[in-house]
Amino acid sequence: MTEPRSSSYIWVTWITGLLAADKHCEWAAWFRAHYQGYAKVPSDFDLAAWKAAHGDMVRKRAEELRAAGYGVYVEDQNKFSLKGRAATLGGVADLVAVREGDGLVIDCKSGQRRDSDAFQVLTYMLALPLTHQACRGVRLGGEVQYRDSRLAIAPEKLTGELKGLILRTIESVGGEAPLPRVPSLSECRFCDITAADCPERIEEAQRVEVVETDLF
């Protein structure tokens, strides 16, 4: 049953698509931030297989980092809840590794590359120095670990401009005013909010009308 939250709550991955401009429906993120317990669209996603593959990636990367002399923190050790004026931001980094004043925030991705992956790690890089004892006072960089490659994210990538973008997005999604719906088949097909809560949800491809012109 759809119920309002007592206060706005945002899980990091709800906003990374907006940050990367991979997604444009701000309302979906706003709805999740303000409501809970809603009925979700059935999914055929194989969660057990994903957890097994993801867990294997995390273990292997953790072993490599320990062998290189890093102190390593794994998954729930990195879970955070950062309460601000507009909302509480929650998340969990797969790995945090620290060695001699330098740190890495790492997220493992077993699927295809997305621009939002880097924004997820950058948001962790913003939040973890405020919430994780091991990340305080260290030069914190990031990494996205894929099956066959790694994307390194230098500490300098988290610029003041990018911090501002992340904070403005949190404030907007966590704010009281509903944000615009931008329904499209490409986004709605991966959205778990049903038509019961989003009457503008698109369930199937809509015919694009052909218009003739003499302009070209």
Find all residues with CB under 8 Å of 198, minimum gap 6, and list them.
27, 28, 31, 181, 183, 191
In this predicted structure, the answer to whether residue 92 has a pLDDT above a threshold of 90 is: yes
The predicted-structure confidence for 113-167, as pLDDT tens digits, reads as follows 999 999 999 999 999 999 999 999 999 999 999 999 999 999 999 999 999 999 9
Which H or E element spans position 128?
helix 115-131
CATH assignment, 3-188: 3.40.1350.10
Distance between CA 59 and CA 65 in Å, rounded? 10
Q: What percent of the chain has pLDDT over 90?
A: 90
CA dihedral angle for residue 130, residue 132, residue 136, residue 142, rounded to 10 degrees: -90
Question: With bands split at pLDDT 50, 70 and 90, how would you rate the model's confidence at 204?
Answer: confident
pLDDT of residue 208: 61
